[in-house]
Homo-oligomer: A and B are copies of this chain.
Amino acid sequence: MEAGLGSVFTRKLEQFAPLGDEDRRVLDSIVARVRQVRARTDLIREGERPKGVHLVLAGFACRYKLLSDGRRQITAFLVPGDFCDLHVSILSEKMDHGTATLAPCTVVDIPREAILRLLERPALARALWWATLVDGAVLRQQVVSLGNRSAEVRAAHLLCELLLRLRVVGLADGDAYELPLTQADLADAVGVTAVHMNRVLQALRSQGLIASEGKTMAIPDLEGLRAFSGFSPNYLHLGPGQRASVAALAG
């Protein structure tokens, strides 16, 4: 399937820097393969060399690493608009981690040359640097969480972050969003066992901080969750266009 990139991608990039007409034209000229990928499927494995950049248009994916004992650490959740492997692909290096879908996804494969063409335009290059900066910042935040916070607080922080990131791409309905993950998936990101993740979620529910049913996650008391988890959105480096999404959150 061949098609333009649709609006999610453009909207995502415009969040970071104002684009000129010519920038937009270059963006629109990218022809990429769009495809549906079912849940729990590798997009690219550690050690492989990506042919192009993968971009999530819909669904839920992740970056992960496997350990020798079979355990999996999820190092990032990828939501619509997120690049799976931008930096590695620009350099055509070998992947130092894998990426995989967690839920059914719509994925775009952008050829490497197309990305290199984007990089020639300063405003677009800036947007890509920005995406990379946010990527790193989210990772630093995860390090802080894993190194210092209890499992309960880590989980709360993650759910807070996901709400905000999904709001940015218009996928959070007020204070609720679809979270098509198993407790084991969350556990692999938060760095606990699935058993413990279950107890953590129960605790958060009983404190009225979250209200999940099925695959829907609701945050009835965002300010409460924010305070509990010590969340501050500064590290997401949201653009001016997104400040409204943050209005509810101090900092």
Contacts and interface: CB of A to CB of B under 8 A. Distances in A.
Q: How many copies does the complex hold?
A: 2
B65 A144 contact: yes
A28 interface: no
A90 interface: yes
A132 B142 CA distance: 18
B94 A146 contact: no
B235 A96 contact: yes
Contact of A87 (B132, B142, B146, B234): B132
A88 B132 CA distance: 10
B148 A191 contact: yes
Nearest to A137: B96
A144 B73 contact: yes
Interface string A125-156: 11001101101110110111011100000000
Given A136-B136, A148-B67, A94 B142 contact: no
Nearest to A149: B67
B234 A96 contact: yes
Interface in A56-71: 63, 65, 67-68, 71
A87 B143 contact: no
A90 B144 contact: no
A154 B142 CA distance: 16
A241 to B, nearest CB: 15
Given A87-B133, A133-B87, A139-B139, A146 B237 contact: no
A250 interface: no
A76 to B, nearest CB: 8
Interface string A48-92: 000000000000000101011001010100000000000110110
A173 interface: no
B125 A75 contact: no
A230 interface: yes
Most interface-central of A47, A88, A97 (chain B CB within 10 A) = A97
B91 A126 contact: yes
A119 interface: yes
Interface string A175-214: 0000000000000101100000000000000000000000
Contacts of A137: 96-97
Per CB-CB distance, the 10 closest pairs between chain A and chain B, nearest first, are A147-B191, A146-B146, A96-B235, A87-B133, A139-B139, A73-B144, A75-B140, A73-B147, A96-B137, A75-B143
Contacts of A96: 137, 140, 234-235, 237
